[in-house]
């Protein structure tokens, strides 16, 4: 969860699935033991560790994008070379979404069922997921330096005024 006030709520949701729950905060402060249970869900209930989780993932779903509140930023996940999936409500990152979808650098799903099917496909066909990830990194690479390009254009306009 993005907000600390949701950590307990999300933990309860995970516990209702009957999957083993491990809170990352307890692993981090060593009050929980590590597990080799591949079914365990590790809840990222700390701040500042999202990049660490992204780096370990094969596929990343960008939260808040299945509900009409605007998705979270997907650039970091894509830049790390991960197959990135988000829902239809990523309107607050329209340019990024458009560029990624145009070059098959991410996957947009319509709803929870589509998300499940997409995740299953990506896990079953890792070459497909890797191709999406590679395309996404290329989109990021092509768009690096946008700030400098904008400054150059503004400077050019100001010098002719």
**Are 21 and 66 within one domain?**
no
12 φ/ψ angles, rounded to the nearest 5 degrees: -65, -40
**Are 34 and 77 within one domain?**
no
Tens-digit pLDDT profile for residues 130-161: 999 999 999 999 988 878 888 988 998 998 86
For position 57, what pLDDT does the model report? 92
CATH number at residue 143: 3.40.50.2000
Alpha-carbon span 13 to 154, nearest angstrom: 50
For position 61, what pLDDT does the model report? 96
For position 8, what pLDDT does the model report? 97
**Are 36 and 63 within one domain?**
no
**Residue 21: domain span:** 1-47
**Are 68 and 143 within one domain?**
yes
Alpha-carbon span 102 to 136, nearest angstrom: 10
For position 68, what pLDDT does the model report? 94
**Are 132 and 75 within one domain?**
yes
For position 45, what pLDDT does the model report? 96
What is the pTM assigned to this prediction?
0.83
Domain count along the chain: 2
For position 74, what pLDDT does the model report? 96
For position 6, what pLDDT does the model report? 94
**Are 1 and 78 within one domain?**
no
For position 92, what pLDDT does the model report? 94
**Are 9 and 42 within one domain?**
yes
Alpha-carbon span 118 to 93, nearest angstrom: 21
With a cut of 70, which residues of the chain have pLDDT below it? 36, 161
**Are 76 and 21 within one domain?**
no
**Are 39 and 61 within one domain?**
no
Q: To 5 degrees, how large is the angle CA 123–CA 45–CA 35?
A: 60
Q: What is the DSSP string of 56-69?
A: H-SEEEETTTTTTT
Alpha-carbon span 73 to 34, nearest angstrom: 30
**Are 43 and 74 within one domain?**
no
**Are 62 and 82 within one domain?**
yes
């Amino acid at each position: 969860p993005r907000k600390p006030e949701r950590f307990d709520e999300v933990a309860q949701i995970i516990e209702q699935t009957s999957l083993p729950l491990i809170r990352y905060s307890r692993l981090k402060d060593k009050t929980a033991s590590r597990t080799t249970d591949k079914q365990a869900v590790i809840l990222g209930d700390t701040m500042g560790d999202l990049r660490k989780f992204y780096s370990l993932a094969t596929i990343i779903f960008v939260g808040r994008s299945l509900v009409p509140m605007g998705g979270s930023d997907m650039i970091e996940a894509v830049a790390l070379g991960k197959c990135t999936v988000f829902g239809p409500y990523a309107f607050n990152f329209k340019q990024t979404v458009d560029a990624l979808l145009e070059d098959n650098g991410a996957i947009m799903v319509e709803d929870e069922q589509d998300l499940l099917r997409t995740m299953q496909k990506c896990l079953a066909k890792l070459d497909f997921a890797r191709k999406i990830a590679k395309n996404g990194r290329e989109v990021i690479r092509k768009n690096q330096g946008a700030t400098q390009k904008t400054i150059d254009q503004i400077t050019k306009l100001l010098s002719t005024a």
